[in-house]
Amino acid sequence: MNYFIKFLSITSLIAVIFSSCNKSDDFDNEYYKEQQRLDSTLNAQKNVLKTYAEENFTTPILDTATGIWWELLEENENDAYTYNLAYAGFLYVVPPTVKVIFSGELLNGVQVEGGAEPVEKIVGGSQGLPLAWQYAFYPRTLPYDGISRTVGGFTPKGLKLGAKIQFVTSSVWAYDNVAKGNIPADSPLHYTIEVTEIK
């Protein structure tokens, strides 16, 4: 009887180990498939974004990390707002609350977001803004504990009061493969954003 219980215990343990391995492999496989999908989308939209920027921007700049093309239309060195990093188990940029006049357009010129009046947004956090907005607003680097940390923004100091920027982004950094209102899934977008308030 003891032999049977030992055999059953060992068999159960082996089944649990294999089951655990399978779940991990499934997770790794799903992660790999998702990365492949994102890379495929970025590659498929790369030339479209380049052509759009070259035809519609005066001095387009490519952010090589994201593939986003951008152009600073108006720069303002107003230092009334300072971007900061905070720590909560990980480093993050403290999200600024901004008022902006903005437009978001499909690449055929149809406006699908924004308007002529300033609207309040929180850049970062869970408000549902495209990730591309964070790259546009945040500085390239920020200090924390005396060390310069890479944040990944386009400009050295981030967008300030009075700044105006335009950028064209892959759908990966916008709404990805999800339709939102009048925006079809997998849509690259062109944004123009003017900062009227930041705090």
Q: Considering the chain, what percentage of its residues have pLDDT values greater than 90?
A: 79
Task: Look up the CATH number of the domain holding residue 143.
Answer: 3.10.50.40
pLDDT of res. 78: 78
pLDDT confidence bin for 79, thresholds 50/70/90: confident
Q: Give the residue numbers spanning the domain of 166.
A: 47-198
The Cα 28–Cα 54 span in angstroms is: 39
Query: How many angstroms separate the Cα of 94 from the Cα of each of 7, 73, 86, 151?
Result: 56, 25, 6, 12
The Cα 169–Cα 185 span in angstroms is: 14
Q: Is residue 4 in a domain? A: no
Largest Cα–Cα distance in the chain?
83
Q: Is residue 20 in a domain? A: no
Q: Is residue 183 in a domain? A: yes
Q: Is residue 21 in a domain? A: no
Q: Is residue 22 in a domain? A: no
Residue 6, pLDDT > 70, answer: no
Q: How many domains, in total, are found in the chain?
A: 1
The Cα 47–Cα 181 span in angstroms is: 26
Q: Is residue 25 in a domain? A: no
Q: How does pLDDT run across 85-133, given as a tens digit for each residue? A: 999 999 999 999 999 999 999 999 999 999 999 999 999 866 679 999 9
pLDDT confidence bin for 27, thresholds 50/70/90: low
Q: Is residue 33 in a domain? A: no
Q: Is residue 5 in a domain? A: no
CB 153 within 8 A of CB 96: no
pLDDT of res. 76: 82
Q: How does pLDDT run across 147-183, given as a tens digit for each residue? A: 999 999 999 999 999 999 999 999 999 999 999 999 9
